[in-house]
Structure 1
Amino acid sequence: MAPISKQDKKQKPLWTKAFLITSLSNLLLFFSFQMLIPTIPTHVSELGGSDVQVGLVIGVFTISSLLTRPFAGRALDLLGRKHVLLVGLAICALTIAGYSYMAAIALILAARFVHGIGWGMSTTSLGTVIADIIPPERRGEGMGYYGLSNTFAMALAPLTGLWIMSTYGFPRVLLISTILALLSLFSSLFITYNKPQPLEKSAQPPKLIDRLWERSSLLPSALLLCTAICYGGIVTFITLFGHEAGISNVGWFFLCNASMVLLIRPITGILFDRKGPAWVLFPGALFTIVGLLLLSYAHSELSLAISALCYGVGFGSLQPALQAWTIARAEPSRRGAANGTFFSANDLGIGLGAMALGAIATSSGSYAFMYRCSTVLIIIFILIYGWCFWQTRRGTLQFAHK
């Protein structure tokens, strides 16, 4: 049999039925979730909740999601992708519907913890399913297109949720969010694909840490942690920064950032497949630094938009490239654990960003100074990846670029 040429490999389809359905399910789930991000804290505040309780609404969800992901990843590799996915989506839908019947803040906090469990299960599952579906030689491109469903939801869902809440009230937000979660569950029933071989039971059971975490994904997850801390500082404090800088509408940042991410992800995905991670990660890190610095000096909506465009190039390049690289480094039977490790780093980074960068802003009295300080994390990103890349080129470190 003649060897398969590179041209033949490139002809493997990406836009399959399974790819489209999985992306649609992810879009519906993220839209449902993003509608609640600005509306649930507002609802808790209207119920008489303090600032601490409003913060707990976000914190409890993040903690439960973070704790769930390693176990979800392990379950994906042992029990199969679809079982874990459907259970996670069902938990999300039922919990969102349950918010309507909770007038006490304590009950809402308990529900948020359960919702975080479902979120951790479902998003880790979808990320693993899409990694199984995408042809290996088009992994960067495929993850880039798949990530557009997240970006689209991040750009439109919060504004949609706020508009529905102001026009029709919070119960209508919950109704629509529940319907979207149920549609995500329904569409996931039709996902079909060739499943990877399950994990084989070894004579000597692996250590607990190896059951829950994937060692091959630790490096890209550590790099993601650096970028997620920066992003956590942006989403948490951008409104307060706008007040400090005299910018009335900081929504332009999210709109311009999301628009650039939509444009850049397909391009960097193809570049990742053809040239490798270094061609995406180094430029993406530099654009992220430029975007953060421009943001810190922004004093008008125009300068804010320019900073968002630069940051969008960096953010839109780094996250899907790191995820594609994580999948490439893991064995097919360990993709669940790899995705669990990867997404845990993202959750942890956003939480750390809100706390650590918030402490810097408090001590310095300046959100602009906080954003300048956050560029140090991206410099660390460049140094870590640059050292590993250089050692690999010298042959002194096993640093697979599959």
Structure 2
Amino acid sequence: MKNPDERLITRDVALVMLATFCFMASNTLSSLLMAGFSESLGASGAMMGLVAGMMSLVSLFCRPIAGNLSDRASKRLLVGVGSALYLISSIWYATASSPVSLLLARMVNGVGFACCSVCLATWMSLLLPIRHMGAGMGLYGTTNALAMALGPATGITMHRLIGYRHTFIISMVMAMLMVISVMFIKNGGHPVAKPAPRRRFSLRSIVEPRVVPLSLVFMLFAIPYFATQSFIVIYANTRHLAVEVSLFYPCYAVALLIMRIGFRDWFDRKSFRFFLVGCSAAMLGSLLCLDLMTGNVLLLLAAVLMAAAYGVMSSVTQAQAVIIAGKARSGIANATYYAGIDLGMTLGPVLGGMLYGGVPIAWFYPLFMLVMPAAWLLYAASAGYVHGGGAGSAV
């Protein structure tokens, strides 16, 4: 009979994944609507991008602190604080009357996002046996990605039916469900490492240095993904495309679920370089499909390729980050990994807003293709440092 401590899926693991789904669904539902909602309030193209990216910009600076705290304090406490901030920001969205007010609400949301994302990921890594870390974080990433797909699809559909403001109430309900699921987790996520004596501040207290290059590589995958999330509806409307944009995210979710379940053992066996080759090719294919699409066939193909690119790469990078750092520093490792997402979530919408307002819309996706060669150059320059310190060969 399998040792309970060695099982991949336990009651607590399932509840953390449920909390993660509610958290990310709440976040992505509202984030997709930010550019369009701010435009309806009178924002310019640049302001639309700034509003969409502000949550991630704030989270970028708060996340190292949250990562450090997650290795020292109860995860339940920190997730509770983050959930409360999510509720506040959701109510604020529903009542905002100007782009500036919306920008301030995004800042509050950013602090909550930093607390919840790092702590939930760290909590998950503490509940998993190290030999199942790749497969477990792959399932965690699948939950994350499903929410990141279904949240936007819900937002697109519901804002057409009930308007922007009432749709934000759905986001608030999801945040409340997250709080409830966290309350039923038995293991409160107390620190693994013993409290250390106070030391002088160092870079290692807020980031895991060897994870930084991988985080930046993943940032370059996140930039086109989050630009698409913020502007795909506006892009399709501006080009007068006969496509049903709401199909993109469910298709993405189904494709990613199949891929992550099918590839789950590969996450513990194949190298990071192996996934980088395949995922970067898929990203270029996805962006090309979005550029050329005139109907739903290429839209759906773009969604499948985006799942093979951004979706798979997120699990690969996060698992490698935890393996490099070890469980005692898993909070800081996850914070470093999420810093790449924060940068991508910030730069994607901001660059998207600049392109939307500054160049012909036909150049939107061709220009975003330039990030993949940059990802390869960055990895080639840093691979020796990242993998040369005794990291496991898996991922």
- TM-superposed deviation, 1:383: 4.1
The residue correspondences of 1:296-315 to structure 2 (distance < 5 A) are: 296-315=291-310
> Given the alignment of the two structures, is residue 134 of structure 1 paired with residue 146 of structure 2, yes or no?
no
CA separation in 1, counterparts of 2:375 and 2:171? Answer: 36
Q: Report the alpha carbon displacement of residue 136 of structure 1 after superposing the two structures with TM.
A: 1.7
Alpha-carbon deviations, 1:132-162, whole Å to 9, x = none?
1122222222122212222222332233234
What's 2:375 paired with? Answer: 381
Q: Which residue of 1 aligns with 2:58?
A: 64
Task: Give the corresponding residue for 1:272.
Answer: 267
Tell me: CA distance 1:88–1:360, structure 2 relative to 1, closer, same or farther (3 Å). Answer: closer
Cα separation, 1, equivalents of 2:378 and 2:43: 42
TM alignment of 1:275-286, pairs within 5 A: 275-286=270-281
How many Å apart are 1:54 and its aligned residue? 4.2
Query: Which amino acid in 2 is paired with 1:15?
Result: I
Corresponding residue pairs, total: 391
Out of 78, 92, 97, the residue aligned to residue 91 of structure 2 is 97
Question: Among 2, 20, 23, which residue is 1:29 paired with?
Answer: 23
Q: Which residue of 2 aligns with 1:339?
A: 334
1:3 alignment partner in structure 2: none
- Verify: 1:87 aligned to 2:81, yes or no: yes
Question: CA offset at residue 188 of structure 1?
Answer: 0.8
Q: Deviations over 1:306-354 (max 9, x none)?
A: 2332232122221110011111111322211221121121111232233
Structure-2 change in CA distance of 1:213 and 1:97 (3 Å): same
Other-structure match for 1:76: 70
State whether residues 280 and 321 of structure 1, in contact with CA within 8 Å, keep that contact through their aligned partners in structure 2. yes
Letter in structure 2 aligned against 1:220: L
* 1:401 is aligned to 2:395: no
Q: Residue 392 of structure 2 aligns to a residue in which SS?
A: coil
Moved more, 289-298 or 178-187: 289-298
Residues in 1 aligned to 2:48 and 2:352: alpha-carbon distance in whole angstroms: 19
Give a deviation string over 1:73-109, Cα, whole Å, max 9, x none.
1111222322212211122123323444554654443
Question: What 5-or-longer segments of structure 1 have no aligned partner?
Answer: 1-6
CA contact (8 A) 1:60 1:112 kept: yes
Distance 2:53 2:177 in 1: 27
Offset at residue 271 of structure 1 (A): 0.3
User: Highest Rg: 1 or 2?
Assistant: 1
State whether structure 2 residue 119 is matched by structure 1 residue 119: no
What is the CA-CA distance between 1:257 and the residue it aligns to?
2.6
Q: Write out per-residue CA displacement over residues 33-60 of structure 1, whole angstroms, 9 at most, x where no aligned residue.
A: 2222344555555555565654443233
Change (3 A) 1:242 1:328: same
One-letter amino acid of the structure 2 residue matched with residue 267 of structure 1:
G
Percent identity (aligned): 24
Residue 248 of structure 1 aligns with which residue?
Answer: 242
Which fold has the larger relative contact order, with Cα–Cα distance below 8 Å and residues 6 or more apart in sequence?
Answer: 2
TM-score between both structures, scaled by the size of structure 2: 0.85
Q: Which amino acid aligns with 2:206?
A: L
C-alpha distance 381-250 of structure 1, shift in aligned 2 (>3 A): farther
**Structure 1 residue 127: deviation in Å?**
1.2
Which SS does the other structure have where 1:37 is aligned?
Answer: helix
Q: Is residue 41–residue 54 contact of structure 1 (8 Å, CA) maintained in 2? A: yes
Cα distance in structure 1, aligned partners of 2:220 and 2:359: 21
Structure 1 SS opposite 2:391: coil
Letter in 1 for 2:283: T
Change (3 A) 1:206 1:39: closer
CA distance in 2, matches of 1:51, 1:392: 40
CA drift of 1:382 comes to 3.2
Q: For the residues of structure 2 that align with 1:281 and 1:318, how far apart are their CA atoms? A: 7
Q: 1:159 aligns with which of 149, 153, 157?
A: 153
Residue pair 2:78, 2:119 contacting (<8 A) in 1 also:
yes
Query: Counterparts of 1:104 and 1:345 in 2: how far apart (Å)?
Result: 30
Task: Measure the CA separation in 2 of the matches of 1:161 and 1:388.
Answer: 39
Tell whether the 8 Å contact from 2:153 to 2:250 is kept in structure 1 after alignment. Answer: no
Classify the secondary structure of the residue corresponding to 2:264: helix
TM-score for both structures, normalised by structure 1? 0.84
Quick one: which amino acid aligns to residue 307 of structure 2?
G
